[in-house]
């Protein structure tokens, strides 16, 4: 790969921006790209085209489509960067952001909130989001604590513990779904992942986690590279292995849990985006992480566009779509890899 790194980053960012503008134009009401940009400009730099009363276009773009698109960008970036970190962390290309039982925990939290009909709001978010976030993180912490032996955490133990505890959480979820009441449709929709009816509150909820999480995984990208040589060699190269692992794991878990809490469980983005990017820019996490974040964002913006429009006026859960498209692509990658 001879392409300069900053160039490829900027290029991908431009593609992402174009995709966002296009996506915001498409829907029940078609809005040309120029008008979309006009609305964005008016709202970002108020006073420019003074006292235009809020038009319908303005409301659609600014209040409905922009937050939704931004959310797709943030969720995609969070899941993809988290997935990339997990793959390096576990030295396992099959790893995804949900590997530590985050999705299972989040699903359990959401199910509990719906089943108990919890009705509190916090920071503009409903009980389902809050419970999903907290339970996702809690399960991850339990997995981590359970895998710790004498101050060290072996990746294999972590992986297997994550699977076991995740399975337990899934059983609880299934039990409650079977026994549960009439809210099941809402719950199923959440479990399948969706970006419908998301507002600015959801965006603001995700922004701090995405910003802090992404910063941390970028700052520790060099250490993550060295960790790919195994714990022992990383330590012999001067990396404080246990500390770096804990920091990276916390960042990746926060990214994934925050994403899940606002969007439900959206599969395969966190697995595929880092893989696709690795084929293009190679394994160096200093370029892989930002590229994976951009690619994940792009994937989700496009997936959301299809989810909104393919069966209009009905809407597909985006999680079904990403899995439907992602799984075959993943099989193709596997097939390709085996031939090499």
Q: Interface residues with other proteins (CB under 8 A)?
A: 88, 91-93, 219, 222-223, 225-226, 228-230, 232-233, 235-241, 278, 282-284
CB of 9 to other proteins, least distance (A): 15
Nearer to other proteins, 134 or 286 (CB): 286
Handedness of CA 39, 43, 44, 46 (dihedral sign): positive
Nearer to other proteins, 1 or 10 (CB): 1
* Measured distance CA(53)–CA(65) in Å, rounded: 19
DSSP state for residue 335 in the 8-state scheme? H
CB of 91 to other proteins, least distance (A): 5
* Measured distance CA(257)–CA(261) in Å, rounded: 6
Specify which residues 152 forms β-bridges with.
149
Nearer to other proteins, 61 or 221 (CB): 221
Can you tell me whether residue 91 is helix, strand or coil? coil
SS (H, E, C) 92-131: CCCCCCCCCCHHHHHHHHHHHHHHCCCCCEECCEEHHHHH
Specify which residues 122 forms β-bridges with.
125
Backbone angles phi, psi at 81, to 5 degrees: -70, -40
Nearer to other proteins, 92 or 126 (CB): 92
DSSP state for residue 319 in the 8-state scheme? H
CB of 99 to other proteins, least distance (A): 16
Stated as kind and residue range, the H or E segment containing 149 is strand 148-149
CB of 300 to other proteins, least distance (A): 25
CB of 298 to other proteins, least distance (A): 23
CB of 329 to other proteins, least distance (A): 20
* Measured distance CA(101)–CA(20) in Å, rounded: 31
Contact 21, 37 (CB under 8 A): yes
* Measured distance CA(115)–CA(330) in Å, rounded: 35
Nearer to other proteins, 42 or 223 (CB): 223
CB of 32 to other proteins, least distance (A): 43
Nearer to other proteins, 184 or 225 (CB): 225
Nearer to other proteins, 88 or 109 (CB): 88
């Amino acid at each position: 790969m001879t392409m300069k790194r900053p160039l490829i980053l900027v290029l991908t960012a431009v593609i992402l921006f174009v995709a966002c503008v296009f996506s915001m134009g498409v829907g029940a009401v078609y809005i040309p790209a120029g008008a979309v940009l006009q609305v964005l400009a008016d709202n970002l730099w108020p006073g420019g085209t003074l006292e235009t009363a809020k038009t319908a276009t303005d409301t659609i773009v600014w209040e409905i489509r922009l937050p939704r698109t931004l959310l797709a960008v943030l969720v995609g970036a969070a899941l993809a960067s988290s997935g990339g970190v997990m793959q390096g962390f576990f030295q396992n290309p099959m790893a995804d952001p949900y590997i530590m039982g985050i999705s299972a925990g989040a699903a359990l939290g959401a199910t509990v909130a719906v089943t108990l009909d919890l009705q509190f709001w916090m920071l503009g978010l409903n009980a389902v989001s809050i419970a999903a976030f907290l339970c996702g993180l809690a399960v991850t912490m339990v997995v981590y604590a359970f895998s710790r032996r004498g101050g060290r955490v072996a990746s294999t133990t972590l992986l297997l513990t994550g699977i076991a505890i995740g399975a337990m959480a899934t059983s609880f979820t299934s039990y409650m779904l079977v026994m549960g009441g009439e809210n099941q449709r809402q719950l199923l929709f959440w479990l399948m992942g969706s970006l419908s009816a998301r507002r600015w509150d959801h965006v603001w909820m995700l922004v701090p986690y995405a910003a802090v999480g992404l910063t941390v995984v970028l700052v520790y990208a060099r250490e993550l590279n060295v960790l790919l040589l195994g714990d022992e060699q990383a330590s012999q190269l001067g990396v404080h292995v246990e500390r770096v692992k804990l920091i990276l794991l916390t960042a990746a878990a926060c990214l994934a849990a925050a994403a899940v809490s606002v969007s439900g469980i959206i599969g395969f983005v966190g697995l595929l985006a880092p893989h696709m990017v690795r084929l293009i820019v190679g394994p160096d996490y200093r370029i892989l992480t930002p590229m994976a974040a951009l690619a994940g964002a792009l994937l989700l913006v496009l997936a959301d566009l299809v989810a909104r429009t393919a069966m209009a006026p009905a809407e597909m859960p985006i999680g079904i779509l990403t899995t439907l498209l992602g799984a075959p692509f993943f099989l193709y990658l596997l097939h390709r890899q085996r031939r090499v």
